[in-house]
Structure 1
């Protein structure tokens, strides 16, 4: 431990306590606090608020922070991954989705069973992420990318379901932001009991957990049951995140920050990191909540504490990037399957595309049944349908093209457009335009989204230009920037005004706003992007072989990354401007193209482009007709198309 390293946390603790005393004293002078504990039968209104609101809130902040700190420390030690925590692994988002679903559709079951529901959602998300990463021995980047995709899916579904039930909008958005407001001591009591039980179990598991650091062979030789210990530790860490989600909502990145702060103090022994991380987590969340209350009392704007803690995630991930170990397997592509017969795939691809076009233009619902339109009806409705069909197809093609480029460039089969953070940047720019120019109209909003996407793209290009930055760490840089953008969006949505509805609607995605002009513009951008990408076929043939091979063949790795990432950023930004940050298309289309036999780089990009267009056109058709006369968010339907495929990959063990 560094000498005098305790001084900084001591100062932070004193500052946090001072904030708490200041805010509490606004309700009741410090000299009168003892009266509440002596006689609680005749309390004034201010004393009731202090005793049953402010004090329990402070207690919940401390216990929830400690639980998240312990959860993050356990996950980081288990996976030997300094960027693992319930947020980056999608566990918290899984708990969030489960509670949103129960709130909207099974409210009678949720009453009294909130903890069980949150644990079910957190456990399901954790199981999917661990299954996705198991094929690569829980390699850090694969774990985080898998967690990101699971988290994006869960968050998209939560947002879409919230939009579909407008009467629940504000309460769910506030809960999703992680509000620590309390009305009694019940949450503090339940969280305290749950944390103590989890802490005892963690102490019992600590020795075998530390032995895992010797490697599988060494731990097995010392009698450690590898599967059992990993399952037990993962269960405790997941349960801690679920307990917090059930009690206060989504509180992000405390589990990531607490162990990082402990190591920053000079504590290196794994046992001490696990032991001290709960203290750091408690202090961090207590401080953030004090700052939130101070800002609320001085500025009059209230943010859920969880939305504020999420703001530390992006910068912290960027700071931790150099500390993430990189497995050698990322220098070799696992993407290239055995070639298959293209003659069977091409006709099927063309037939699928033609079928989707016919469905989109000639099939409709009248609210009770399906019908096939005649030529007159098709002609009458064509002006309404073809712009959104073209816009959705072009957006899907651009996202799939981006996914194919990213997967070949990085050698990571889980890379997708969401990973590079451009979609999150576009959303941040969109929200900024709504905040500062609320009457600016659609053009101002599109301009803000474009500026946000451009800013993130510039940051990613700066990382890509680094010669010695491994390709998979480039993905982590995108995740960090995207996390920061998403955190700001969550904070803005949690305010609870009209912006919440507009931001949620845009995040869900919709092609309904596409006009003939915007659809043709996006279609033109898509075709240009495809043609330009095909000029770099040689790079994308060589890069999956690894950086050393690429350099030996005369390919400049930093320059190729910058150029390819520039194409990906522009493609993702253009798609996000019109139809929102769509999910999964950029992940699944390149996989399907490879399995269909489109192995060569040029064929792979072209086939991915066409498949992405087909998938997104089908998603738009389903979003428009499945719940007619109501329209589902396009992003939701895209996720519903992609999620089964992702689960199928897990079941086959082909990740």
Structure 2
């Protein structure tokens, strides 16, 4: 079993093996477990009281207490207040119960089958796949979503199954190792989200309602969602109970499970298919509900549910309680702000910190075995300087072509000198800013990969760009018309705070790459939840944020371009100073200190430089582009082995990538336009999928 597999929880039903020398320690651990379980039970009881109290307050805001029983049992059709209570307030609560219970059941199955405490529909990309399928159907086959959504479930199920097939296909050869599954789920989620954002940009008025619904809205107008979810939960629960013995045996490793007569592959696929269908049922009914499937099984175990049968009962109850409490807590806030706050997005605001807490409690793990470096042996005929010169020439040529060659009223053509003087004033700032952003992202990605020893590290994957975006969102919420200096400060602060959080959580595992990846995934999910809340509220802030998130260079001015170019030159000039540190720090603290390196100061300096690079680039091309991931790998493929060589080659490659992405987005769909960051994501995510598949097949 690889080091990654030690992320999995130990078999819960195996008898404890206490040594004779440590009976007191064993008793202390047992007593601590009982105490923790009691505290969780008390917390769940308080949550139940809070949910009931909030429900009563929300009901009182709709109808006076004297009308409650009549409104709930036999409403007067002439009283609009009673109709709202009976056909909106009450089915909303019941829907929250059913959706939360269904997600709790699905999360329990996922975590048990995959032996991964972080598995749930959202982190596995299944919810994103279902939502994308529904978005596509709403645009090109709206009739399939008619009749009170009766046809939504097959569409959502198709998207969920497609996403699950990609995720599990990428991770299958690695034995469904938790980190590989988590990274594959992250990539599928980001890619599906990028496609959804592109569609949102093109069809904003038509898809805004779908976007709000996709954020996990529990608003009800009748009992149709209850009628859709209740039988699916009942059937899913019955099937899960029939699979009880195989699910118990999944706690063992594959060899022991097979020795006990378990048809491992067939039953694993059956259990995963059941969990995917349960997840699709929720997405098709109420949209994407984040992290309930993660939190409910964890709370059930902390409350003392050790056996699988106990978890199959208690986890759905915990899921129902969590979503009920979250939805009731959101309603007064939404009423106060006069905006709609999707309960699904709000649940992620609570779930992402819980995921970080679970990561902090995980045992120490070793290096990332499932995903190794992709460096190849290439010919040394050309020196690094010659390769840099060649890449620089290609980049300069591409910049010229991007300025001159494009689509016009007469099709593809080169601009004449007279025409070029008119279009260059619009195109040149965009290309300069795009190139500068690509350079900075490539340098940030190289620094992170070298510092963590993780070939999948990048500002986008580790959540650094998401942290920068959170800083930007906070600034827009406070002052939408803030200047460039304030925006750079806000994004830099968010990026640096994210890096500190990542390394603080990773410190317990000695900066193990898989821990860093998983913390980044949690922070990225928190960022997505905040974005969903802000955009669902609509207004000027939502439009500004959506345009910026997509990574558009459309609004770049000559002043912006010069600022981006100046930042990239200054920060790139600092990058060569890190060569010695990048060569020494991966050796470990002891070796670094022996060589005279003050490791806390060195880590702080590298983190600060990475945060500034990520923040400055994120301001231009948004938080998602994957250039920080791909450019260092292309530099390795070009022969760069030493840190300075990789920095030297990755910088122009990153700039070239964003320039090409900006040119493609500007010309392919003329007169419409795709933002550069979005185009880079649409191509970068498949690249990462290929990388994962390649590493899994070589493992």
**TM-score normalised to the size of structure 2?**
0.86
| Counterparts of residues 454-469 of structure 1 (less than 5 Å) | 454-460=496-502, 462-463=504-505, 468-469=510-511
From 59, 66, 69, the equivalent of 1:24 is 59
Within the alignment, does 1:148 sit opposite 2:186 as a pair? yes
Q: CA separation in 2, counterparts of 1:315 and 1:193?
A: 32
Q: CA separation in 2, counterparts of 1:558 and 1:229?
A: 49
Within the alignment, does 1:261 sit opposite 2:299 as a pair? yes
Within the alignment, does 1:11 sit opposite 2:53 as a pair? no
Q: CA separation in 2, counterparts of 1:6 and 1:284?
A: 13
Instruction: Using the TM superposition, give the Cα deviation of residue 21 of structure 1 relative to its aligned residue in structure 2, in angstroms.
Output: 2.9
| Counterpart position of 1:532 | 574
Alpha carbons 2:174, 2:696 under 8 Å: kept: no
From 661, 666, 680, the equivalent of 1:619 is 661
| Counterpart position of 2:635 | 593
Alignment CA distance shift 1:65-1:557 (3 Å): farther
Q: CA separation in 2, counterparts of 1:361 and 1:299?
A: 46
Within the alignment, does 1:508 sit opposite 2:546 as a pair? no
Alpha carbons 1:187, 1:247 under 8 Å: kept: yes
Alpha carbons 1:586, 1:612 under 8 Å: kept: yes
Select between 421-430 and 557-566 the one with higher mean Cα deviation.
557-566
Alpha carbons 2:370, 2:695 under 8 Å: kept: no
Q: CA separation in 2, counterparts of 1:338 and 1:426?
A: 33
Instruction: Using the TM superposition, give the Cα deviation of residue 217 of structure 1 relative to its aligned residue in structure 2, in angstroms.
Output: 0.9
Alpha carbons 2:503, 2:511 under 8 Å: kept: no
SS in 1 for 2:243: helix
Instruction: Using the TM superposition, give the Cα deviation of residue 447 of structure 1 relative to its aligned residue in structure 2, in angstroms.
Output: 4.7
Alpha carbons 1:425, 1:456 under 8 Å: kept: yes
Within the alignment, does 1:411 sit opposite 2:453 as a pair? yes
| Counterpart position of 2:565 | 523
From 262, 268, 271, the equivalent of 1:233 is 271
Alignment CA distance shift 1:432-1:37 (3 Å): closer
Instruction: Using the TM superposition, give the Cα deviation of residue 509 of structure 1 relative to its aligned residue in structure 2, in angstroms.
Output: 0.9
Alignment CA distance shift 1:37-1:291 (3 Å): closer
| Counterparts of residues 14-413 of structure 1 (less than 5 Å) | 14-30=49-65, 32-35=67-70, 42-111=77-146, 112-297=150-335, 300-325=338-363, 327-330=365-368, 334-343=372-381, 346=387, 349-350=391-392, 352-367=394-409, 369-413=411-455
Alpha carbons 1:409, 1:471 under 8 Å: kept: no
Instruction: Using the TM superposition, give the Cα deviation of residue 20 of structure 1 relative to its aligned residue in structure 2, in angstroms.
Output: 1.8
Alignment CA distance shift 1:578-1:188 (3 Å): same
Q: Which runs of 5+ in 2 are unaligned?
A: 1-33
Alpha carbons 2:111, 2:118 under 8 Å: kept: yes
Alignment CA distance shift 1:648-1:322 (3 Å): closer
SS in 1 for 2:305: coil
Alpha carbons 1:331, 1:411 under 8 Å: kept: no
Alignment CA distance shift 1:556-1:277 (3 Å): farther
Alignment CA distance shift 1:133-1:605 (3 Å): farther
Q: CA separation in 1, counterparts of 2:483 and 2:91?
A: 44
Q: CA separation in 2, counterparts of 1:455 and 1:206?
A: 44
| Counterpart position of 2:540 | 498
Select between 533-542 and 279-288 the one with higher mean Cα deviation.
533-542
Instruction: Using the TM superposition, give the Cα deviation of residue 650 of structure 1 relative to its aligned residue in structure 2, in angstroms.
Output: 5.2
SS in 2 for 1:330: coil
Alpha carbons 1:254, 1:281 under 8 Å: kept: yes
Alpha carbons 1:87, 1:253 under 8 Å: kept: yes
Q: CA separation in 1, counterparts of 2:157 and 2:527?
A: 27
Alignment CA distance shift 1:465-1:486 (3 Å): same
Instruction: Using the TM superposition, give the Cα deviation of residue 393 of structure 1 relative to its aligned residue in structure 2, in angstroms.
Output: 1.4
Select between 531-540 and 165-174 the one with higher mean Cα deviation.
531-540
Alignment CA distance shift 1:523-1:215 (3 Å): same
Alpha carbons 1:342, 1:598 under 8 Å: kept: no
Q: Which runs of 5+ in 1 are unaligned?
A: none
Within the alignment, does 1:643 sit opposite 2:681 as a pair? no
| Counterpart position of 1:603 | 645
SS in 1 for 2:648: helix
Q: CA separation in 2, counterparts of 1:220 and 1:557?
A: 47
Alignment CA distance shift 1:496-1:379 (3 Å): closer
Instruction: Using the TM superposition, give the Cα deviation of residue 553 of structure 1 relative to its aligned residue in structure 2, in angstroms.
Output: 7.3
Alpha carbons 2:503, 2:516 under 8 Å: kept: no
Instruction: Using the TM superposition, give the Cα deviation of residue 444 of structure 1 relative to its aligned residue in structure 2, in angstroms.
Output: 4.8
Instruction: Using the TM superposition, give the Cα deviation of residue 22 of structure 1 relative to its aligned residue in structure 2, in angstroms.
Output: 3.0
Q: CA separation in 1, counterparts of 2:598 and 2:267?
A: 44
Instruction: Using the TM superposition, give the Cα deviation of residue 165 of structure 1 relative to its aligned residue in structure 2, in angstroms.
Output: 0.8
Alignment CA distance shift 1:129-1:607 (3 Å): farther
Q: CA separation in 2, counterparts of 1:65 and 1:332?
A: 33
Instruction: Using the TM superposition, give the Cα deviation of residue 33 of structure 1 relative to its aligned residue in structure 2, in angstroms.
Output: 4.5
Q: CA separation in 2, counterparts of 1:206 and 1:551?
A: 53
Instruction: Using the TM superposition, give the Cα deviation of residue 559 of structure 1 relative to its aligned residue in structure 2, in angstroms.
Output: 5.5
Alpha carbons 1:465, 1:562 under 8 Å: kept: no
Q: CA separation in 2, counterparts of 1:552 and 1:591?
A: 31
Deviations 1:280-323 (A, max 9, x none): 00000001111122334455443111121111133112211133
Instruction: Using the TM superposition, give the Cα deviation of residue 612 of structure 1 relative to its aligned residue in structure 2, in angstroms.
Output: 1.5
Instruction: Using the TM superposition, give the Cα deviation of residue 324 of structure 1 relative to its aligned residue in structure 2, in angstroms.
Output: 3.1
Q: CA separation in 2, counterparts of 1:640 and 1:261?
A: 36
Deviations 1:509-566 (A, max 9, x none): 1122323333233234334444433333345446667788878877776665444333
Instruction: Using the TM superposition, give the Cα deviation of residue 651 of structure 1 relative to its aligned residue in structure 2, in angstroms.
Output: 5.5
| Counterpart position of 2:471 | 429
Q: CA separation in 1, counterparts of 2:126 and 2:112?
A: 17
Alignment CA distance shift 1:22-1:133 (3 Å): same
Select between 324-333 and 57-66 the one with higher mean Cα deviation.
324-333
Alignment CA distance shift 1:650-1:374 (3 Å): same
Alpha carbons 1:425, 1:485 under 8 Å: kept: yes
Say how many residue pairs are matched. Answer: 655
Instruction: Using the TM superposition, give the Cα deviation of residue 181 of structure 1 relative to its aligned residue in structure 2, in angstroms.
Output: 0.5
Q: CA separation in 2, counterparts of 1:555 and 1:84?
A: 39
**TM-score normalised to the size of structure 1?**
0.91
Instruction: Using the TM superposition, give the Cα deviation of residue 72 of structure 1 relative to its aligned residue in structure 2, in angstroms.
Output: 1.6
Q: CA separation in 1, counterparts of 2:483 and 2:450?
A: 39
Select between 246-255 and 625-634 the one with higher mean Cα deviation.
625-634
SS in 2 for 1:27: coil
Alpha carbons 2:96, 2:323 under 8 Å: kept: yes
Alignment CA distance shift 1:570-1:42 (3 Å): closer
Q: CA separation in 2, counterparts of 1:299 and 1:520?
A: 39
Alignment CA distance shift 1:420-1:569 (3 Å): farther
Alpha carbons 1:91, 1:123 under 8 Å: kept: yes
Q: CA separation in 2, counterparts of 1:281 and 1:156?
A: 29
Select between 187-196 and 517-526 the one with higher mean Cα deviation.
517-526
Select between 443-452 and 366-375 the one with higher mean Cα deviation.
443-452
Q: CA separation in 1, counterparts of 2:94 and 2:668?
A: 46
Q: CA separation in 1, counterparts of 2:97 and 2:364?
A: 34
Alpha carbons 1:333, 1:545 under 8 Å: kept: no
